[in-house]
Chain A
Amino acid sequence: DIQLTQSPSFLSASIGDRVIITCRASQGISSYLAWYQQKPGKVPKLLIYATSTLQSGVPSRFSGSGSGTEFTLTISSLQPEDLATYYCQLLNPITFGQGTRLEIK
Protein backbone atom coordinates (compact mmCIF):
# COMPACT_ATOMS: atom_id res chain seq x y z
CA ASP A 1 0.00 0.00 0.00
CA ILE A 2 1.11 3.54 -0.74
CA GLN A 3 1.66 5.73 2.31
CA LEU A 4 1.52 9.52 2.24
CA THR A 5 3.62 11.37 4.79
CA GLN A 6 3.13 15.08 5.29
CA SER A 7 5.77 17.37 6.69
CA PRO A 8 5.79 19.13 8.90
CA SER A 9 2.98 17.74 11.06
CA PHE A 10 2.75 21.06 12.84
CA LEU A 11 3.69 24.48 11.53
CA SER A 12 3.61 27.91 13.10
CA ALA A 13 3.98 30.89 10.76
CA SER A 14 3.36 34.61 10.67
CA ILE A 15 0.92 36.61 8.58
CA GLY A 16 2.45 37.26 5.18
CA ASP A 17 4.82 34.29 5.35
CA ARG A 18 5.24 31.88 2.47
CA VAL A 19 4.22 28.46 3.74
CA ILE A 20 5.10 25.16 2.11
CA ILE A 21 3.62 21.82 3.12
CA THR A 22 5.14 18.69 1.65
CA CYS A 23 3.45 15.37 0.94
CA ARG A 24 5.76 12.46 0.22
CA ALA A 25 4.59 9.15 -1.20
CA SER A 26 6.20 5.86 -0.18
CA GLN A 27 6.55 5.02 -3.87
CA GLY A 28 6.26 6.89 -7.13
CA ILE A 29 2.67 7.63 -8.02
CA SER A 30 1.08 8.16 -11.41
CA SER A 31 -2.27 9.28 -10.03
CA TYR A 32 -3.23 12.82 -9.15
CA LEU A 33 -3.07 14.42 -5.74
CA ALA A 34 -5.64 16.64 -4.02
CA TRP A 35 -5.33 19.01 -1.07
CA TYR A 36 -7.98 19.80 1.54
CA GLN A 37 -8.29 22.46 4.21
CA GLN A 38 -10.15 21.74 7.43
CA LYS A 39 -10.69 24.70 9.72
CA PRO A 40 -11.31 23.96 13.42
CA GLY A 41 -14.76 22.44 13.93
CA LYS A 42 -15.54 22.63 10.23
CA VAL A 43 -15.96 20.32 7.29
CA PRO A 44 -12.99 19.67 4.98
CA LYS A 45 -12.84 21.81 1.86
CA LEU A 46 -11.24 20.88 -1.46
CA LEU A 47 -8.49 23.35 -2.32
CA ILE A 48 -6.58 21.73 -5.17
CA TYR A 49 -7.24 18.73 -7.39
CA ALA A 50 -5.26 17.07 -10.15
CA THR A 51 -2.11 18.06 -8.23
CA SER A 52 -2.09 21.72 -9.30
CA THR A 53 -5.60 22.83 -10.33
CA LEU A 54 -7.20 25.34 -8.00
CA GLN A 55 -10.78 24.53 -7.05
CA SER A 56 -13.28 27.25 -7.97
CA GLY A 57 -13.48 29.99 -5.34
CA VAL A 58 -10.17 29.16 -3.66
CA PRO A 59 -7.85 32.17 -3.28
CA SER A 60 -4.95 32.30 -5.71
CA ARG A 61 -2.40 32.41 -2.86
CA PHE A 62 -2.85 28.63 -2.71
CA SER A 63 -0.99 26.52 -5.25
CA GLY A 64 -0.01 22.90 -5.68
CA SER A 65 2.80 21.17 -7.54
CA GLY A 66 4.86 18.02 -7.66
CA SER A 67 5.29 14.65 -9.26
CA GLY A 68 6.65 11.20 -8.55
CA THR A 69 7.02 10.97 -4.79
CA GLU A 70 7.07 14.59 -3.69
CA PHE A 71 4.21 17.08 -3.80
CA THR A 72 3.76 20.49 -2.22
CA LEU A 73 1.01 22.85 -1.18
CA THR A 74 2.17 26.45 -1.07
CA ILE A 75 0.46 29.42 0.51
CA SER A 76 2.21 32.42 -0.98
CA SER A 77 1.22 34.94 1.71
CA LEU A 78 -0.34 33.52 4.86
CA GLN A 79 -3.61 35.09 6.00
CA PRO A 80 -5.34 34.81 9.39
CA GLU A 81 -8.17 32.76 7.90
CA ASP A 82 -5.69 30.09 6.78
CA LEU A 83 -5.54 28.67 10.30
CA ALA A 84 -6.46 25.04 9.63
CA THR A 85 -5.29 21.47 9.21
CA TYR A 86 -4.28 20.57 5.67
CA TYR A 87 -4.50 17.08 4.17
CA CYS A 88 -3.08 15.68 0.98
CA GLN A 89 -4.94 12.85 -0.74
CA LEU A 90 -3.95 10.41 -3.45
CA LEU A 91 -6.81 9.82 -5.88
CA ASN A 92 -6.04 6.24 -6.84
CA PRO A 93 -5.99 4.41 -4.56
CA ILE A 94 -7.64 6.82 -2.14
CA THR A 95 -5.12 7.56 0.59
CA PHE A 96 -4.86 10.52 2.94
CA GLY A 97 -1.81 12.05 4.52
CA GLN A 98 -1.86 12.39 8.29
CA GLY A 99 -2.44 16.14 8.16
CA THR A 100 -0.46 19.31 8.84
CA ARG A 101 -1.77 21.64 11.50
CA LEU A 102 -1.03 25.25 10.65
CA GLU A 103 -0.96 27.80 13.43
CA ILE A 104 -0.72 31.55 13.04
CA LYS A 105 2.00 33.14 15.20
Chain B
Amino acid sequence: QVQLVESGGGVVQPGRSLRLSCVASGFTFSNHVMHWVRQAPGKGLEWVAVMSYDGSNRYYADSVKGRFTISRDNARNTLYLQMNSLRPEDTALYYCARDPAVFVVVVAAMGAFDLWGQGTMVTVSS
Protein backbone atom coordinates (compact mmCIF):
# COMPACT_ATOMS: atom_id res chain seq x y z
CA GLN B 1 0.00 0.00 0.00
CA VAL B 2 1.42 3.34 -1.05
CA GLN B 3 1.40 5.58 2.00
CA LEU B 4 3.14 8.07 4.23
CA VAL B 5 2.74 7.87 8.00
CA GLU B 6 3.82 10.78 10.17
CA SER B 7 4.52 10.69 13.90
CA GLY B 8 6.17 12.75 16.61
CA GLY B 9 3.66 15.53 17.07
CA GLY B 10 2.43 16.71 20.44
CA VAL B 11 2.05 19.63 22.80
CA VAL B 12 5.24 21.55 23.52
CA GLN B 13 6.10 24.83 25.24
CA PRO B 14 7.40 27.79 23.27
CA GLY B 15 11.14 27.62 22.76
CA ARG B 16 11.29 23.85 22.98
CA SER B 17 12.05 21.29 20.27
CA LEU B 18 10.26 18.47 18.55
CA ARG B 19 11.23 15.94 15.89
CA LEU B 20 8.72 14.67 13.37
CA SER B 21 9.12 11.46 11.39
CA CYS B 22 7.45 10.24 8.23
CA VAL B 23 7.75 6.60 7.18
CA ALA B 24 7.10 5.79 3.53
CA SER B 25 5.93 2.48 2.13
CA GLY B 26 4.69 1.03 -1.14
CA PHE B 27 6.98 3.06 -3.39
CA THR B 28 10.69 3.73 -3.85
CA PHE B 29 11.16 6.50 -1.30
CA SER B 30 14.81 7.07 -2.19
CA ASN B 31 13.86 8.17 -5.72
CA HIS B 32 11.57 11.03 -4.73
CA VAL B 33 11.91 14.64 -3.65
CA MET B 34 10.06 15.01 -0.32
CA HIS B 35 8.40 17.91 1.47
CA TRP B 36 6.84 19.01 4.71
CA VAL B 37 3.67 21.10 4.45
CA ARG B 38 1.65 22.42 7.38
CA GLN B 39 -1.85 23.65 7.99
CA ALA B 40 -2.79 25.73 11.02
CA PRO B 41 -6.24 24.96 12.48
CA GLY B 42 -8.92 26.33 10.18
CA LYS B 43 -6.32 27.87 7.84
CA GLY B 44 -4.80 27.17 4.45
CA LEU B 45 -1.77 25.20 3.36
CA GLU B 46 1.76 26.44 4.00
CA TRP B 47 4.83 24.79 2.54
CA VAL B 48 7.64 24.26 5.09
CA ALA B 49 10.63 22.49 3.58
CA VAL B 50 11.88 20.34 0.68
CA MET B 51 14.72 17.87 0.31
CA SER B 52 16.27 16.35 -2.81
CA TYR B 53 15.93 12.62 -3.43
CA ASP B 54 19.49 11.99 -2.28
CA GLY B 55 19.54 14.47 0.59
CA SER B 56 21.98 16.75 -1.21
CA ASN B 57 19.89 19.92 -1.23
CA ARG B 58 17.22 21.36 1.00
CA TYR B 59 15.21 24.57 1.13
CA TYR B 60 12.96 26.18 3.70
CA ALA B 61 10.13 28.65 4.00
CA ASP B 62 11.30 31.97 5.43
CA SER B 63 9.02 31.44 8.43
CA VAL B 64 11.05 28.41 9.61
CA LYS B 65 14.52 29.08 8.20
CA GLY B 66 17.20 28.74 10.85
CA ARG B 67 14.87 26.89 13.24
CA PHE B 68 13.75 23.79 11.33
CA THR B 69 15.89 21.13 9.66
CA ILE B 70 14.66 18.61 7.13
CA SER B 71 16.56 15.36 6.69
CA ARG B 72 16.05 11.86 5.37
CA ASP B 73 17.30 8.33 5.83
CA ASN B 74 16.75 6.49 2.57
CA ALA B 75 17.80 3.18 4.09
CA ARG B 76 14.94 3.52 6.56
CA ASN B 77 12.45 5.10 4.10
CA THR B 78 12.04 7.92 6.57
CA LEU B 79 11.80 11.71 6.31
CA TYR B 80 12.40 13.90 9.36
CA LEU B 81 11.70 17.43 10.48
CA GLN B 82 13.68 18.71 13.45
CA MET B 83 11.87 21.74 14.87
CA ASN B 84 13.74 23.96 17.30
CA SER B 85 12.81 27.23 19.01
CA LEU B 86 9.15 26.51 18.48
CA ARG B 87 6.68 29.39 18.51
CA PRO B 88 2.91 29.48 19.01
CA GLU B 89 2.51 30.32 15.32
CA ASP B 90 4.08 26.93 14.47
CA THR B 91 0.94 25.25 15.79
CA ALA B 92 -0.39 23.22 12.89
CA LEU B 93 -1.04 19.83 11.37
CA TYR B 94 2.22 18.82 9.73
CA TYR B 95 2.00 16.77 6.55
CA CYS B 96 4.73 14.80 4.90
CA ALA B 97 4.24 14.96 1.12
CA ARG B 98 5.81 13.21 -1.83
CA ASP B 99 6.86 15.13 -4.91
CA PRO B 100 6.22 13.35 -8.22
CA ALA B 101 9.73 14.38 -9.30
CA VAL B 102 12.23 11.54 -9.19
CA PHE B 103 16.02 11.71 -9.20
CA VAL B 104 15.82 15.48 -8.92
CA VAL B 105 18.28 17.64 -7.02
CA VAL B 106 16.18 20.64 -6.09
CA VAL B 107 17.79 24.01 -6.76
CA ALA B 108 15.06 26.13 -5.23
CA ALA B 109 11.94 25.97 -3.11
CA MET B 110 10.06 24.14 -5.83
CA GLY B 111 7.77 21.19 -6.34
CA ALA B 112 4.32 19.70 -6.13
CA PHE B 113 2.68 17.09 -3.93
CA ASP B 114 1.09 13.91 -5.26
CA LEU B 115 0.92 11.84 -2.07
CA TRP B 116 0.15 13.11 1.43
CA GLY B 117 0.31 11.54 4.84
CA GLN B 118 -2.49 11.93 7.35
CA GLY B 119 -0.50 14.50 9.27
CA THR B 120 0.74 14.85 12.84
CA MET B 121 -0.48 17.69 15.05
CA VAL B 122 1.97 20.05 16.71
CA THR B 123 0.66 22.42 19.36
CA VAL B 124 2.98 25.06 20.80
CA SER B 125 1.54 26.49 23.97
CA SER B 126 2.57 27.37 27.48
Contact = CB atoms under 8 A, between A and B. Distances in A.
A20 B100 CA distance: 26
A43 B100 contact: no
A97 B44 CA distance: 8
B45 to A, nearest CB: 5
Contacts of A45: 116
B116 A94 contact: no
Contact of B47 (A31, A38, A46, A96): A96
Interface residues of B, number: 19
Interface residues of A, number: 22
B11 interface: no
Contacts of B108: 92-93
Nearest to A33: B112
Contacts of A71: none
Contacts of B111: 91-92, 94
B113 A44 contact: yes
Contact of A44 (B45, B100, B110): B45
B112 A46 contact: yes
B44 A94 contact: no
A38 B113 CA distance: 13
* Residue of A55, A89, A99 most packed against chain B (CB within 10 A): A89
Interface of B: 35, 44-47, 50, 95, 100, 108-114, 116-119
